[in-house]
A and B are shown apart, each in its own frame.
Chain A
């Protein structure tokens, strides 16, 4: 493998389940050392893609190479070099925190002697040293997630796959997980993650693709995507009752796009402050907020506001 060959390379990658096409001919490359994200609503095909990269789900069609190897043929060899944090925990609740790490390390064929030292280091890394000898069962969701991350690092993986690493965690627990992931990134571990949290993608990803209904809708760095697909700032006008109807060109060239929601109007603009007095005068909103445009704005624009289940 040449120095510049991508760590993960996909062309026309397809995954179908019966008549359902979960992943519909997608192309992407993940480079060594980067943090790469799959962003998208539920059912967009993120997890199916991750499971193919993790060599646990066979590729239906297209090309996929991981570390230069073919997942169909070299699954065990690839998995030996991957770390996986699955969406649903696969911890054994009755074993202790430490035993969970050690048993998992044994699956990789590491010696018990080696694992004892490594388990201590990893538990310290995820701040679970004090719980090392407790069963997993009573741990909080955030602690279990950190343990899953510790466990996934036991084989010193070159690539870490994280499927919705912070879904269901409270804000403190999310930040604790992000903090650990930052450190791993600094150590040169390639991160591949799926998320539907925009802030997570903005915080962690160097580059990301937005998936929608099995296809890749957009690709770029978080900043690039915001620049290209949204405006610099968003003015949020809140109304006590129903938001008034507005023409698309109500503010002329100052506003690139207008979103009218039941109780809010979003104005996408490059100069929010200049727009505030005008908006006040014309629409009499209850409150006005000028904020930086986020990936969420990009995401909602691309995938729409309709609820997907």
Chain B
């Protein structure tokens, strides 16, 4: 029974093999384009001033982008594919007619989300290195951190997608959840720039914890205490998300 989740995972890998070329191309192209625009373009303007960030803008923004990408990929792979596997391709029902159980189906999907995030973020990290933005060997820890960010978003979003009666719930999630988080979680500018109320809200989002730790890891300024707090916060999101997902999957699939 230990291998059951891997059997479900295999379906998603087979399914990804259809689109892997395009997926890998955009995984390389995206960071190159963003870091060129933000680093070489916008960075010129930002760095001109008093250098308030302490480092070049591209070194500041790059790890934030990586954390945000982990969130975006996880959000995407845990939303429409989950809804599709329940409502359109009914692949979850196919799995449940075999020895696999609801928890295997859910775990297998989360393993796939983790793999996708790890793959895309490994490419991102390589591009970061090429842009000379990695100031510490601890930067390799960004990869497991990215996977954790992925699960902190993926699991609760899978719970939502399994529950959602219509796919406009998912469109709203991206419009009102993922996009604002991407912009206002300290990815592009320090949260100290935000008005007090908004700042506290941003500190509470899991993405900020991911962004902040990611940045300190690549810049070599991370401390153990800070890392423990950030990781614990993200772990809590992932764990609650998994519990919610299991509940939501069971309610939808076992009638």
Give the complex CA separation of A89 and B10 in angstroms: 20
Given A58-B254, A94-B15, also A106-B10 (CB < 8 A): yes
Evaluate contact between A103 and B98: CB separation under 8 angstroms. no
Query: Could you mark each residue 1-12 of chain B with 1 if its beta carbon is under 8 Å from any beta carbon of chain A, else 0?
Result: 101100110110
Q: Are B99 and A103 in contact (CB under 8 A)?
A: no
CB-contact partner of B101 in A57, A75, A93, under 8 A: A75
Given known A-B contacts A76-B1, A80-B98, A109-B7, A92 and B15 have beta carbons under 8 A apart: yes
Q: Is B99 in contact with A57, judged by CB distance below 8 angstroms? A: no
Query: CB < 8 Å: which of A76, A82, A84, A93 contacts B100?
Result: A76
Total residues of chain B contacting the partner, CB 8 A: 24
Q: Which of B89-97, B174-182, B195-203 contacts A (4 or more CB under 8 A)?
A: B89-97
Which residues from A are CB-within-8-Å of B255? Answer: 17, 57
> Closest residue to A82 on the B side, CB-wise?
B97
A56 within 8 A of B: yes
A-B contact pairs, 28 of them (CB 8 A): A54-B97, A56-B97, A57-B255, A75-B101, A76-B1, A76-B4, A77-B99, A80-B98, A80-B99, A82-B97, A86-B97, A88-B90, A90-B89, A90-B91, A90-B97, A91-B94, A92-B11, A93-B89, A94-B18, A99-B14, A106-B11, A107-B8, A107-B94, A107-B99, A108-B98, A108-B99, A109-B3, A109-B7
Tell me if A118 is interfacial: C-beta within 8 Å of chain B: no
Q: Given A106-B7, A107-B11, 7 more contacts at CB 8 Å? A: A75-B101, A79-B97, A79-B98, A89-B90, A94-B15, A107-B8, A107-B95
Distance in Å: Cβ of B185 to nearest Cβ of chain A: 34
CB distance from A64 to the nearest CB of B (A): 16
Q: Which residues of B contact A92 (CB under 8 A)?
A: 11, 15, 89, 91
Nearest first, the 4 A-B pairs at minimum CB distance are A90-B94, A107-B98, A76-B99, A84-B97
Q: Nearest-CB distance from A192 to chain B (Å)?
A: 14
- Cα A103 to Cα B11 with chains together (Å): 6
Question: What's the nearest-Cβ distance from chain B to residue A172, in Å?
Answer: 26
Q: How far is the CB of B72 from chain A (nearest CB, A)?
A: 23
What is the minimal beta-carbon distance from B86 to any residue of chain A, in angstroms? 11
Interface residues in B66-109 (C-beta closer than 8 Å to A): 89-91, 93-101
Closest to A99 in B: B14
Nearest-neighbour CB distance to chain A for B6, whole angstroms, equals: 9
